[in-house]
Amino acid sequence: MKREWGLGLLGALGLGFIAVRVNGKLRPKPMPVQIEQFFLTNPLRVSYFGPRDALRLAGNLEGLRVLEIGTGVGVILEEIAKRVGEGGQAFGVDIQSDAVAKTEQRLSQHGLMSRTGLATANALEMPWTDGSMDRVIMVAMLGEIPTSHRVEALKEAGRVLNRDGKLVITEFWPDPHFIALPKMVRLLRQAGFSIVDVYQKPLLYSISAKKEGQVV
């Protein structure tokens, strides 16, 4: 009897996961901030799917201007702001004002707001000038943008990157909006990027890219 209950529970969890994943694929939309707070700040996420791997291909950030698109509650941006140091600047944008407020709260608690600029805006139309960023970081966010606008979002990231700038995208599974690596490579090429490097470990990859025509 216990075994049947166990199998039933496992089956229900499996079906629930498939339903969330299919819904995420068919109707991509931003994850509500309360859910983000739970999933993105828990210790497993922070240690295995967190800033260390998301920023691995970004190189030394000290003194740079680094933008994170889709900050959520600020887990990655907090680390970016630490790494740019006093001579650099961290920027973050999210379409949800609640997420921006949570990010501001988090960075304030760590005394990092003096080197941080935040905006509530759509990744398709960001309030920064052309070529103003050295690095653009996107973690588990591109899949939340409707399929038909993903190349446009990458082009917008390319617009704010400077000539030698680098875009770093990290995706992990089982994020319901996960984009597989071959698809990501195609999207980046369509948006005018060339691939610089790829890092992979079980359930996660990170890819760095430069605008075509740049010397790598």
Based on CB atoms, which residue is closest to ligand SAM, 8 or 127? 127
Nearer to ligand SAM by Cβ, of 64 and 145: the residue is 145
Tell me the HSE value of 34 on the side-chain side, using a 13 A CA sphere: 0
Closest contact distance (angstroms) between CB of 182 and ligand SAM is: 21
- Position 125, amino acid: E
- Which residue number, 95 or 154, has a Cβ lying nearer to ligand SAM? 95
Smallest separation, CB 216 to ligand SAM (Å): 25
What are the backbone angles phi and psi of residue 21, rounded to the nearest 5°?
-65, -45
Closest approach of ligand SAM to the CB of residue 130, in Å: 18
DSSP characters for 25-76?
HHS--PPPHHHHHHHHHSHHHHHHSSHHHHTGGG---TT-EEEEES-TTSHH
Nearer to ligand SAM, 53 or 134 (CB): 53
Sole residue written with tokens 């979002």: 153
Q: Please, are residues 24 and 173 in contact by the beta-carbon 8 Å criterion?
A: no
State which residue has the least CB distance to ligand SAM: 72
- Beta-carbon contacts of residue 107 (< 8 Å; ≥ 6 apart): 74, 77, 78, 81, 113, 116
Chain residues in the site for ligand SAM (CB under 6 A): 30-31, 36, 40, 70-72, 75-76, 93-96, 99, 122-123, 139-141, 144-145
| Smallest separation, CB 11 to ligand SAM (Å) | 27
Judge contact between 212 and 189, C-beta under 8 A.
Answer: no
For ligand SAM, which is the closer residue by CB, 48 or 214?
Answer: 48
CB of 76 to ligand SAM, least distance (A): 5
Nearer to ligand SAM, 151 or 214 (CB): 151
Secondary element (H or E) of residue 207: strand 204-211
Closest distance to ligand SAM from the beta carbon of 14 (Å): 22
